[in-house]
Structure 1
Amino acid sequence: MIVSLKWLRNYVDVTLTVEDLVHRLTMVGLEVEGVSALNPHLQGVIPVRVRSVDPHPRADRLHLCRVSDGEREYKVVCGAPNVRAGVVAPLALPGTEMPNGMVLREARLRGEVSQGMLCSQKELGLGEDASGIWLLPETISLGIPLSRALDIEDTIIEVSITPNRGDCLSILGIAREVAAICGAPLRYPSVVLEEKGSAIDGRASVVIDDPVGCPRYAARLVEGITIGPSPRWLRESLEAVGLRSINNIVDVTNFILMEMGQPLHAFDFDSLREHRIVVRRARGGERFTTLDGVERTLFDDTLLICDGAGPVAIAGIMGGLDSEITSGTSRVLIESAYFEPVCIRRTGKKIGLRSESSYRFERGVDPEGVLRAVDRAAALMAEVGGGVMAAGRIDVYPQPIEWPVLSLRVDRTNRFLGTRLEASRMAEVLKSIEMDVRELDGNRLEVIPPSFRPDISREVDLTEEVARLVGYDQIPVTHPHVELRAEPLDPHFRMRQEARNLLAGAGFFEVINYSFIGQESLRRLMLDSDDARLHPVVVKNPLSEDQGVMRTSLIPGLLQTARHNFGHRNDDLRIFELSKVFLPRAGEALPAEPHQLAGILTGKREPHLLYGGEEEVDFADAKGIVESVLDLFYLEGVRFADEALPPYLDAGQAASIFCGGEWVGTLGKLRAEVQEAFDLKKDIIVFEVDFDKVFNLKQSHPMFRSLPKYPPVARDMALIVDENLSVQEPLDYIWGQKEALLEQVEVFDIYRNPQWGKGKKSVGYRLVYRSPERSLTDEEINDIHSGLVRKVLDVFHATLR
């Protein structure tokens, strides 16, 4: 909204400086986007009197003029045909930037100095006359800026209006806010109705067929007018807010639009067939040519203004080509109406047409301001057009709009705003914007919002009005008392983070795959038909077939990631994922969502040739990684066994992980058939751990234990056993004897020799003994160790190497 400060002062006494006014407007919710002087170039233009005019010695059409501003004389070269001694004209001084962008400089024209330029109206942007210099009135003050001499000095303020504040899309609307800010009264323009013509009744009529789209329609008739240019005050007012003067009648409608925010339309009364107005909905496919000369196809929800034969305007948006004001118009019917905002907004979007009128109708105009606007327009048209106003007016208002009666609780408002305002103070600020306020008691106000504020419909809206009018900067700043307390991290989350950090330290990269996978990728794992993982939750509207089910394992996603990397020549991989899988539960609508940890290793053990060789990762690498992860949980009784192996692992290089007799994961080399099904060109080692199970088995962190005082004693046991005997079984048996002095058992060697016969191997076990109370003797240890050896040899039918 462009506001002329000079125009604004017609309705309110502005007691603030421009800077303070801009600040206060912004603080009440009307953001000011820019402030500028009107016609700033006129600061360098002054009225001067021509003292003498002599012919130019070297140019037939130029003159040498001496002009005076009353104190100083200037030499000016001028080619205007009407320049003569004694006239007063505007002189643009050197340094002035003209409306066309040219910056004047003192110059020599055909050898003669010119200290400026005598200007025409068009050169100054103040008119269309370019036939000669602008001859100013003889009584005008000399030597002062032309804008001040002509009394056209003005400040233009550009205000950004939010969609809910349609009442501020007018000079009066802004003046109302300024009056509330300054505590000054608002002066509405006086309307003097001289109804000298015959009565309008019987000569024109209005029928509303759609009272929903058009709740109110008013009209007045002015006869005997003469179409011509507008008076200076009217042209200057419109030009100040960026509107071009057209003629006196159209300019009045635009003046009321900007002054009151009420769009009007002036019809050539003689072109209205049957001299009547009908407001109706369009028929689907009906065509109509608007003022811009475009024929438009209408919709069945388009609101039309029609005469006795057909449409003459699209309601609230634009008039028609056949009923516009022309130079021969002598009788004008003025339309002033209230149209339903949603109806106008919908029509404007459908037909792709917007106007200043529709912009205001879409945001809601004042239904009660319809009559005030039509009366003022009729009075102004009679004044500037020399016409006669017909007696009476038409006002069709079949269903008057009822305005809400709101209750404002003072204590609640103060609690919301953090203020301590009295009821009387709240009533004062609400009355300043023309609300009807009545104090019921010390804590309640009864408020009826004015008709131009349809955005106020609830108590909280009144609270907002109190806040912005009192001043947001007047609301005290308080800080809530908040107890700062850091909540401990969720233990499960903390363990997930520790596992991630450990794997990252071991050279792994974390990947995050989609929770959606393809059913086929699960089948490629060669799972048994009764395996629950083959019966996942199905996605109703999958993005693609490859994302049709919820994953029941992290392995397919990791294998597809590996294939993608292989395709980009990244053959040495260590990646993992720690996330949820979705396992169906019998009789349950929703699946279980346990966390699982899975990873794959492939390629060289040390990819960088400078630090490593050509060795590739194997089962032992994956086992070491898994053991490091399990160490985070301080588990007891962890063992690896070749039982309960998944079908997608090579049984010769795989193991299941057990803790306390409970299965918690697997690791091993990917089976060749599975590798081929996933189109993988390299061997892959896979590990998978049920993270939730491991977390539930987690032991407490061991406390500090002092270093042993007494030395250990080590003894070896090298057994020759059957090839198919697992290394773990003798290890478990030795621990199972619960020898008090046995501190540690580990495998130190596996050896095969053909001399022992087919299907035999040697496994070396190192047993470490220690007492916390004394040093052990060789004889004591030998007796204990010999006993353990005899038991192992007997149980496993082994021999010593």
Structure 2
Amino acid sequence: MLLSMQWLRDFVPYEGEIQELGDRLTMLGLELEEIFNPFEAITPLVVGHIVECDPHPEADKLSVCSVDVGEDELLSIVCGAPNVAKGQNVPVAKVGTTMPGGMKIKKAKLRGVKSFGMICSERELELSDAHEGIMVLPADLKPGQNFVEAMNMETTVLDLGVTPNRADCLSILGIARETALAFDLPITMPKLNLVESGGNAADLLKIEIDDPQFCPLYQARILQGAKIAPSPDWMRYRLLSVGVRPISNIVDVTNYILFELGQPLHSFDGDRIKGGKIRVAPASDGTKFTTLDEQERDLISSDLLIWDAERPVALAGVMGGMNSEIHDGSTNVVLESAVFRPGTIRKTARRLSLPSEASYRFERGVDQQMNTFAMDRAAQLMSELSGAKIVSGVVKNEPTPWKDRTHTYRHARCNSWLGLNLEPEFSKKAFTLMGLEVDDSNADSWKVSTPSYRLDLEREADLYEEVARYFGMDKIPSVLPRISKTFDSTVIAETPYGFYRRIKNWGRGVGLHEAINYSFVGDDDLDLLGLPKEGRVNIANPLSEDQNVMRTQLAPGLLNTVRHNLAQGNSHIRVFEIAKQFVKDADSDTETREQSRLGIMLNGPRNGSEWPHEHGDADYLDIKGLVENLLSDLKLGEASFTQAEDHSYLEPCVNITLGEKEIGFMGMVKADIADKYHAKKEVWMADLNADLLRDTVMAHKIKFAPLPVYPPSRRDVTVIGPVSLHAETIKDAIFGLKLSLLESVELVNVFTPEGQDEERNLSFRLTYRHAQKTLTDKVVDKEHKKVLEALEKALPVRF
């Protein structure tokens, strides 16, 4: 939001430092982004008085002017404008001035006559498109005056960042209220002096609203006998200072009120409204409508239109139509002032990629009670600037009148939440300055009524925030909160949030870094991984082309995380992400099925450079170990791992099964895909169904068993077998013996002898234990011999 200081002072008498104002507004939630001079490019210009104006001796269309620019300085300037004449005051660019377009004024000789400057037109100063002649200034100006100061142009504009909830601050009046709050200043509203000419507007126009939920209020005034002309300088310069191009007196007034009071208005050519009727109704699918930017729009049933008796004449809340616009020959004006449902306007503006100052405000909510005042002030200005007469009365349809809102406020609770010890009178003063009405008859629980322009105040907590804003967010002391665990902690642990927090704690505990990626990816990312096009959820208005679809798997985001880390010089990458993936589902209420997944990705050295261990690269055993560690941490027991025949981006790929349920998959990202993400070493990934894991954990019944009392006895064995023989097959064969003393079997090493392609060595550690006594070597050796004999009989192995 651009704030003109001249305009602001029409509402509040602020005379302090500009930076101080910006700092205070920032602390109130309106962040100051920039302070600038909107007319800085023409600041070097001065007012000149043409003392003499003679024809050029060598050119019929040129004049040689003697121009007084102050301090007894006369400049000889050759000018080609047809309207230049003796006695005029004009803007002059002296030699050395750089014009807004970048041209630098130099000494010149035109047809043999020297010229020491330039007399400027409005177009050359980028004040308007007028270029038929030079700009003629008021006669009461003095030669040598700075042009910007002489014309009372704005020299200070603040660019303020307004959060989406503060729709009331998208106007000069709204920011004036915040300024008054910050410095305890009075607010002066513009004086309304509306002169009606008779007649009855309600006899000339009827308003119909098909569905009140889309339009709570629509009203209009009718003006007759308007003369379309340029707006006066003061209005044009104010609009230019906030980035709006002046068009004509009628259109400029609607833009002026939009910035001044925050109410978007629209003016129709009254003679182009057919049948004396305006109807607010949705479009039909396939409706075509040409907006003021001369673009034909294809509309759908969710778009809201303004119709006359025969056709649509405006895209409600977004932009008017070409078929009803104000033009140079317009004389009768229908001035619209309305309130539309924010969500409807937002969807239409986003879908059509048609943002406007009006839609920006409508989609955040406008002040319904200010609506009539804004319309009447606009009608008054239009009448004063165009000579139009205002027909008596207002044409109005308000199916949903504004209802005052009252909230409970508990001061003790506010102090508790803010960590402050404020007196009740402090809060009451803050609310009063903000325009809120306070009923404190009950000292413990006040009733606070919020004004119609503060749509963001929806609950008691919002009132606490207002007290904090008035106190000063920067003044609230930093105090570490007291941490205590309650019985609710166990309840939270059973929620999805509690379970995912547990997963995150596990991830950090095993040395993984959490990645948080956008839910948006690009079609190119999914295509690169060979993921199907079916089921993709496309985004209607993507942030960019490489974020035009919702992710169907976590792999694209994690691979982009790997690429980013490699680009920053981090070669030891161990990351995890717990997030949702999205797939189209016609049976879902949102037509999209969401599933929480846990993704783990490893790349580079197994250990960081600071660890005094071997620095081999991460491999299959690392990713498998993490999956087994997670399942152990969740007390879910052991999973089985089976190699998948084919996968679009993992090779090899292993399916992970827990009981009879497949909970995910893991494997190595194909080398050509990893190369696309600048990974020169193997990238290992696991993708687990977090929702299924949670359901399994919630259904899991905890069983208690006594801790072992007697020591274990361990035996290592190296099994030599074909490369195609899986370690899991060997483990299953051992457990299949159902030996009572065998407690566990662990794979501790895999070794392939140099030059050997057909066989490999698998080393296992077998743990034996008896629950009632200490085992002797003789007993253990006997059990271990059974294992070796059984393996030789069942599998093609040797020892």
Is residue 686 of structure 1 aligned with residue 762 of structure 2?
Answer: yes
Please state how far the C-alpha of 1:94 moved relative to its aligned partner: 3.9
8 Å contact from structure 1 (residues 90, 134) kept in 2:
yes
Q: Aligned to 1:328, what secondary structure does the other structure show? A: coil
Aligned residue type for 1:191: L
Structure 1 residue 376, shift from structure 2 partner: 1.4
Mapped partners of 2:417, 2:411: distance in 1 = 10
Q: What's the Cα RMSD here?
A: 5.2
Deviation at residue 363 of structure 1 after TM alignment: 0.5
CA contact 1:336–1:374 (8 Å) conserved in 2: yes
The answer to whether the 8 A contact 2:642-2:654 is kept is no
- 2:284 is matched with 283
Paired residue for 1:143?
Answer: 144
| Correspondence for 1:550 | 657
Aligned with 2:363: secondary structure? helix
Determine the structure 2 residue equivalent to 1:37: 37
CA offset digits 1:390-413 (Å, max 9, x no partner)? 111122112323232111211221
Shift in Å, 1:438 = 2.4
Query: How many angstroms does 1:56 deviate by?
Result: 8.3
Structure 1 CA distance for aligned equivalents of residues 43 and 257 of structure 2 = 30
Asked whether the 8 Å contact 1:655–1:666 carries over to 2, the reply is no
Structure 1 residues 85-117: Cα deviation after superposition (integer angstroms, max 9, x where no partner): 654433323443211112335667789876543
Alignment of 1:91-110 (within 5 A): 91-105=92-106
CA shift at 1:138, angstroms?
Answer: 3.6
Residue 21 of structure 1, CA deviation:
1.0
Q: 3-state SS of the aligned residue for 1:38?
A: coil
Structure 1 residue aligned with 2:792: none
Residues in 1 aligned to 2:132 and 2:294: alpha-carbon distance in whole angstroms: 33
For 1:660 and 1:504, the matched residues in 2 are separated by 40
Q: Quote how far apart the aligned CAs of 1:302 are.
A: 2.0
Change beyond 3 A, Cα 1:182–1:113: farther
Cα shift at 1:199? 1.1
TM-score, L = length of structure 1: 0.65
Residue 391 of structure 1 aligns to a residue whose secondary structure is: coil
CA contact (8 A) 1:504 1:510 kept: no
Name 2:327's counterpart in structure 1.
326
CA shift at 1:3, angstroms?
1.8
Q: Residue 34 of structure 1: CA displacement?
A: 1.4
Larger radius of gyration: 1
The residue identity in structure 1 corresponding to 2:760 is I
Matched, 1:511 2:587: no
Are residues 509 and 380 of structure 1, via their aligned partners in 2, closer, same or farther at CA, if it must alter by over 3 Å?
A: closer
Residue 473 of structure 2 is matched in structure 1 by: 472
Q: Partner residue of 1:362?
A: 363
Instruction: Provide closer, same or farther for how the CA distance between residues 19 and 94 of structure 1 changes in structure 2, counting only shifts above 3 A.
Output: farther
Distance 2:363 2:447 in 1: 29
Q: How does 1:221-370 map to 2 (within 5 A)?
A: 221-370=222-371
Deviation, structure 1 residue 30: 0.7
CA distance change for structure 1 residues 547 and 591 in 2, over 3 Å: closer, same or farther?
farther
Specify the code of the residue in structure 1 equivalent to 2:761. Answer: I
Q: 2:156 and 2:670 mapped to 1: Cα distance?
A: 70
Shift of 1:275: 0.2
- Aligned residue type for 1:232: D
Residue 284 and residue 117 in structure 1: after superposition, are their counterparts in 2 closer, same or farther (change >3 A)? closer
Counterpart contact for 1:41–1:96, Cα < 8 Å: no
Corresponding residue SS for 1:304 = strand
CA distance in 1 between counterparts of 2:747 and 2:339 reads: 78
Equivalent position SS for 2:165 = coil
- Give the unaligned 5+ runs of structure 2: 485-504, 512-605, 626-637, 676-683, 703-709, 783-799
Q: Please give the per-residue CA displacement for 1:561-619, whole angstroms capped at 9, x wherever unaligned.
A: 8999xxx9xxxxxxx999x9xxx9xx9998999xxxxxxxxxxxxxxxxxxxxxxxxxx
Structure 1 residues 100, 190: closer, same or farther in 2, change over 3 A? same
Aligned twin of 2:216: 215
The answer for the alignment partner of 2:46 in structure 1 is 46
Structure 1 residues 339 and 680: alpha-carbon distance in aligned structure 2, compared to 1, 3 A threshold: farther
* Equivalence for 1:9: 9
Judge conservation of contact 2:11–2:188 (CA < 8 Å) in 1. yes
Give, in angstroms, the shift of residue 295 of structure 1: 2.9
- Aligned mates of 1:645, 1:249 — CA distance in 2: 91
TM-superposed CA distance for 1:164, in Å, is: 0.9
Residue of structure 1 in register with 2:493 after alignment: none
Check 1:588–1:457 CA distance in 2 against 1; reply closer, same or farther (3 A cut). closer
Q: In the aligned structure 1, how far is the partner of 2:643 from the partner of 2:191?
A: 76
1:669–1:683 Cα contact (<8 Å) kept: no
1:295 & 1:577 partners in 2: Cα distance?
49
Q: Cα–Cα, structure 1 residues 229 and 562, in superposed 2: closer, same or farther, change >3 Å?
A: closer
Q: Are 1:23 and 2:23 an aligned pair?
A: yes
Give the aligned residue type for 2:441: L
CA contact (8 A) 1:216 1:339 kept: yes
Q: Which amino acid letter does the alignment assign opposite residue 164 of structure 2?
A: P
Contact 1:223 1:389 in 2 (8 A): yes
Relative distance call for 1:328 and 1:510 in structure 2 (3 A) is closer
For residues 403-436 of structure 1, what are the alpha-carbon distances to aligned partners after superposition, in whole Å with 9 as ceiling and x for unaligned?
Answer: 3211121122122222222222212122222112
C-alpha distance in 1 between matches for 2:149 and 2:35: 19
- 1:438/1:47 Cα in 2 relative to 1: closer, same or farther (>3 Å)? same
1:340 deviation in Å?
0.6
Greater Cα shift, 317-326 or 358-367? 317-326
Letter in 2 for 1:356: E
Query: What displacement does 1:222 show?
Result: 1.1
Q: 1:266 to 1:70 in 2, by over 3 A?
A: closer
Which residue number corresponds to residue 196 of structure 2? Answer: 195
Amino acid at match of 1:511: D
CA shift digits 1:359-410 (9 cap, x unpaired): 1110001111221122112222222121211111122112323232111211
Q: Cα–Cα, structure 1 residues 592 and 104, in superposed 2: closer, same or farther, change >3 Å?
A: farther
Structure 2 distance, partners of 1:562, 1:335, is 61
1:685 is aligned with what amino acid? N
Distance in 1 (alpha carbons) for counterparts of 2:399 and 2:296: 32
Give the 3 Å change call, closer, same or farther, for CA 56–206 of structure 1 in structure 2: closer
Aligned-residue offset at 1:23: 1.1
Change (3 A) 1:536 1:168: same
Cα separation, 2, equivalents of 1:158 and 1:73 = 39
Which residue of the partner structure matches residue 380 of structure 1?
381
1:292 and 1:54 mapped to 2: Cα distance? 45
Maintained 8 Å contact 2:182/2:470: yes
State the match for 1:451 in structure 2: 452
Q: C-alpha distance in 2, partners of 1:373/1:239?
A: 21
**Counterparts of residues 106-125 of structure 1 (less than 5 Å):** 115-125=116-126
Q: In 2, Cα distance between the equivalents of 1:23 and 1:668?
A: 64
| Alpha-carbon shift at residue 645 of structure 1 (Å) | 12
Could you tell me how far 1:150 is from its partner in structure 2? 1.8
CA contact (8 A) 2:342 2:362 kept: yes
Q: Contact between 2:164 and 2:364, CA under 8 Å: does it hold in 1?
A: yes
CA distance in 2, matches of 1:33, 1:21: 13
Q: Map Cα deviations across residues 135-184 of structure 1 (whole Å, 9 max, x no partner).
A: 43342123231111222243121122111111111111111111212211
Segment drifting more, 634-643 vs 227-236: 634-643
Q: Hey, what's the Cα distance between the residues in 2 that align with 1:60 and 1:504?
A: 92
CA distance in 2, matches of 1:291, 1:562: 52
Aligned to 1:78: 78
Equivalent residues of 1:334, 1:374 under 8 A apart = yes
Rate the CA distance shift 1:668–1:196 in 2: closer, same or farther, 3 A.
closer
Residues 74/480 of structure 1: CA separation in 2 closer, same or farther (3 Å cut)? farther
Q: Which amino acid aligns with 1:223?
A: Q
